[in-house]
Structure 1
Amino acid sequence: MKYVLMFVETEEFAKELEAMGELEQRAAYEAVGRWFAEHADKITHHAHLAPAHTATTVRVDRPEPVITDGPFVEGKEVVSGFAEVEVADLDEALALARAWPACPIVEIRPLT
């Protein structure tokens, strides 16, 4: 079964990461790299997203589409990346999410 794990960054997490020294940041990024390496057999695709302020939003719920710069909603939590995984079931996807070493929230959705 395929799922998408969406890695959600909070304002607090971003501040903590920014406040880290160079060695701490490097260790944090290396932990993420190890997670991807350890689970490479289940990950079919992954990407890190550009910051939310770089988004362009198209609203198509009006007679004419409205295009705006920035995210759909300003929030204290933003999806900063994702991984598409192929696993046996939700329990296996949950195990991957529990092992995630970075952003404090991982949203899991099945692909249909």
Structure 2
Amino acid sequence: MFVETEAFAKKLEAMDEPERATAYEAVGRWFAEHADKITHHTHLQPVHTATTMRLGDGEPVITDGPFVEGKEVVSGFAEVEVADLDEALKLARTWPACPLVEIRPVA
């Protein structure tokens, strides 16, 4: 999962259009370079578009916004097929955008 920080979001927002285009091109290149390992990926809409449903006893509670208010938000994810955690870490080291990458195995 690609995790965007407030600092990264502000840096991206402060870029002029050519700088932002260059940043997005780097992300596009990363996906192209690793296409043989990527099985699925997507970019999520901004955090303010989230809706959270809390399940438990009784009726679910539905609220606008993310499940946790924080300075870091998941901005997208990619499913990759790699041999092990070491290969996943090697791949994550080359990610050119958000400063945090969370790696989780699938069930």
Matched, 1:48 2:43: yes
The corresponding residue for 1:24 is 19
SS in structure 1 of the partner of residue 103 of structure 2: strand
Gaps spanning 5+ residues in structure 1: where?
1-5
Supply the RMSD in Å over aligned alpha carbons: 0.7
Shift of 1:25: 0.5
The corresponding residue for 2:90 is 95
CA–CA distance in structure 1, aligned partners of residues 20 and 103 of structure 2 = 26
Shift of 1:111: 0.2
Gaps spanning 5+ residues in structure 2: where?
none
CA–CA distance in structure 1, aligned partners of residues 7 and 54 of structure 2 = 29
The one of the two structures with greater contact order (alpha-carbon pairs below 8 A, sep at least 6) is 1
TM-score if structure 2 supplies the norm length?
0.97
% same residue: 81
Aligned residues: 107
CA–CA distance in structure 2, aligned partners of residues 98 and 18 of structure 1 = 24
The one-letter amino acid of 1:8's match is V
TM-score if structure 1 supplies the norm length?
0.93
Would you identify which runs of 4 or more consecutive aligned residues in structure 1 move more than 3 Å? none
The corresponding residue for 2:58 is 63
The corresponding residue for 1:73 is 68
